[in-house]
Structure 1
Amino acid sequence: MKIPAEQEAQKLPNNFRLCRCSAPRNRGWLAFWSVLLLFSVVAAITAFQHFHYDSKQKQEDLTNIKTEHLTNIKTEEFTIILQTYKRDNILLKVLKNCLAAPHLQKIIVVWNNIGVAPSQKLIDSLGQHSIPVLFMEQTRNSLQNRLQPFAEIHTEAVLMLDDDVLVSVPDISFAFIVWQQFRDQIVGFVPRKHVEISPGVYNYEDVGLTPGQRGERKYSMVLIGAAFFHRRYLKLYRDQPKAMHDLVEAGHNCEDIAMNFVVSLHLREIWADGRSAGIYVKPMDMRNLEMQASGDFKGLWHRSDHFKQRSECINQLTKIYGVMPLQLSDIIVNQYSRVK
């Protein structure tokens, strides 16, 4: 799902000295070192251009994210929040997969099956495990139920997952490492973007991540259906204007877009120039299990007006907050190449 370090100008070592030679040889050595220094500068510039970063983010050298060099990363744990509605069979698969993740402290299942308690069969099917799995039964079916600042969360890191998304354990572990380096941002696997189609009017769009121009691969949101973020954002989300919560409830949609607004607005406060709400981690193995669900409930994204409704959400949120806080980024973190 954090390693930014300011790059300092390269300096010659303090013990560097020109050899003591006659004047003609001194000029020769001076020419030699001048050429060598010139080539070093050119090489440094070339390397920097190869790893181009969004200038506003100032998050340099993501290539340093290496799972084999983590001696400076403190040991900590994370909590999974997983909201579910009428999908017991695929929920079980997702839970069993999550229980294998290192550094997992607890799983909170936000149970939106109103009036129907989790079955003992489901609980028993989890088998023997040492990780607490808490089923939090809700009194109403709301997308925003999972965004409560639960008192049961005792870790800074929260991994939020949809109940039909199966993310491999290596992907979860790597994204957690990335999040530890970018603790103020959403670190996840599903990027999206806003596109200004006319002054102050925006569309919600998918992100083309196929090889091409970097500008074609930018994103401004990382959806929270498969993402790490700091638990502080749950409280910040709760404390947002009533108009924002009403917007999400009315359309039964867009709580993930609203969270990206919340994070972006917070980043504007703590960073003078702001930065993108999220960091996109390209997964090695992430699957959608919806087709395996035993019930007839389908995800909201199946609705014919899904993208239109989410575009409207972006425009309404911009009016509520009086600003468009989302910023584009083209940083893509991968377990092998780190940055694409």
Structure 2
Amino acid sequence: MATLNLVAIRDGGSGGENGGFYSPAKEKAANRSACSFRSVVVRRLRKVIGGGVTRVKLLFTIGLIFAFLLFASRIGSWMGWNLDYASSVSSSTRGGYTVLINTWKRNSLLKQSVAYYASCSGTDAIHVVWSESDPPSDSLKAYLRKIVQSKSQMTHKPNLRFDLNEEDNLNNRFKPIKDLRTDAIFSIDDDVIVPCDTLDFAFSVWQSAPSTMVGFVPRMLWSSKEKIGSTSYKYGGWWSVWWTGTYSMVLSKAAFFHRKYLDIYTNEMPTSIRDYVTRERNCEDIAMSLLVANVTGAPPIWVKGKIFEIGSSGISSLNGHNGKRTKCLNDFISLYGTLPLVPSNVKAVNAKREWFW
């Protein structure tokens, strides 16, 4: 009779559900469970990784779209196009502004200037301050009226008028104007061009503070005590503003102010100051800055924006210009008996045109 030997094979591990004994059937079951668990884990990992890739792709796509839109807006600005700027200064809805152009024997520059400002949506009227001995020719007036009609994109066409003066005098640029439909005056030299969207932004800044001057050309003054109880001042140009970040004037060669200051300058400001401007043929813009500061007790507002000078000569290009301005400044302050100018380091910036703000 054959004897069946049962051999018990102890598992190499210690302990377990079967007292540490090996069971082939249970090993297969365990292997099936392990394989099932690994399959579930692998499937979930693939799902998570796949979802992550999808999210990354989505974020990357959104980033590309944002970058494209930002680039499109910037390239529009660089090329001079206006893709997203909605002007709120239409002359028919907000009153607009009167462009007051000071000119003298530079008809070619005057034609360019009038043509450009006629195209700006906020321009309600254009007044040319004419101080030449001979009146403007009929051909010049006809040409400019035709240009205004063709360049203006508005239903209401800007009114063009020459303000004639019998003598060449810088005070002429601040004479009162009858029949104005706007409170805002934009004073500009015939050789300075301010882009229309920049001009409209400056107008909106002026509307927030209509009693002050708002402009693009800041200047400052330095003070120094020459002796005890005596203080003198020095006219500081653009580099002084750049270096210190401070200004106390904006020049009327490119600035907004309220039309009431035309009357105050001509009829209420001390005659001695107007006589000084007539005699020196300079500094009418400093006189206006002092006048506005004296009335308001507040600083002007400098607007950030590119302006373009299309001429090649002017009073500011003459030798000794800053020295004459320094003398004007001290003489005017002496006539006032005080220093009306208020310094400021505030600059108005259009956030739509900035990369970071």
Q: How does the TM-score come out when normalised to structure 1?
A: 0.70
Q: What amino acid is the match of 2:234?
A: N
In structure 1, the residue matched to 2:53 is none
Preserved contact between residue 92 and residue 122 of structure 1 (Cα < 8 Å): no
- Which of 256, 279, 302 is the matching residue for 1:280? 302
- Which of 307, 313, 330 is the matching residue for 2:322? 307
Q: Calculate the aligned-residue CA RMSD, in Å.
A: 2.4
Instruction: Identify unmatched segments of 5+ residues in structure 1.
Output: 1-66, 268-273, 292-297
Q: Secondary structure at the match of 1:290?
A: coil
Q: Which has the higher helix share?
A: 2
1:11-30 paired onto structure 2 within 5 Å: none
Aligned length: 255
Q: What amino acid is the match of 2:132?
A: N
Aligned counterparts of 1:78 and 1:122: Cα–Cα separation in 2: 21
Q: Residues 121, 155 of structure 1: CA spacing in aligned structure 2 closer, same or farther, 3 A cutoff? A: closer
In structure 2, the residue matched to 1:294 is none
In structure 2, the residue matched to 1:137 is 164
In structure 2, the residue matched to 1:330 is 345
Preserved contact between residue 88 and residue 94 of structure 2 (Cα < 8 Å): no
In structure 1, the residue matched to 2:231 is 200
1:101-180 paired onto structure 2 within 5 Å: 101-121=120-140, 123-124=142-143, 126-127=146-147, 128-129=149-150, 130-180=157-207
After superposing on structure 2, the runs of 4+ consecutive aligned residues of structure 1 that deviate more than 6 Å are 67-71, 209-212
Q: Residues 339, 222 of structure 1: CA spacing in aligned structure 2 closer, same or farther, 3 A cutoff? A: farther
Question: Within the alignment, does 1:254 sit opposite 2:283 as a pair?
Answer: yes
Deviations 1:148-202 (A, max 9, x none): 1111322110001101101111111111111000111111100000110224200
Aligned counterparts of 1:218 and 1:145: Cα–Cα separation in 2: 30
In structure 1, the residue matched to 2:295 is 266
Shift of 1:211: 7.3
Shift of 1:79: 0.8
Q: Residues 165, 325 of structure 1: CA spacing in aligned structure 2 closer, same or farther, 3 A cutoff? A: same
Preserved contact between residue 189 and residue 227 of structure 1 (Cα < 8 Å): yes
Q: Residues 157, 253 of structure 1: CA spacing in aligned structure 2 closer, same or farther, 3 A cutoff? A: same
Instruction: Identify unmatched segments of 5+ residues in structure 2.
Output: 1-84, 151-156
Preserved contact between residue 179 and residue 228 of structure 1 (Cα < 8 Å): yes
Structure with more contact order per residue of length (Cα contacts < 8 Å, sep ≥ 6): 1
Preserved contact between residue 87 and residue 200 of structure 2 (Cα < 8 Å): no
| Identity across matched positions, percent | 29
Preserved contact between residue 110 and residue 191 of structure 2 (Cα < 8 Å): yes
Shift of 1:122: 5.4
Q: Secondary structure at the match of 2:95?
A: coil
In structure 2, the residue matched to 1:290 is 311
- CA radius of gyration, larger in: 2
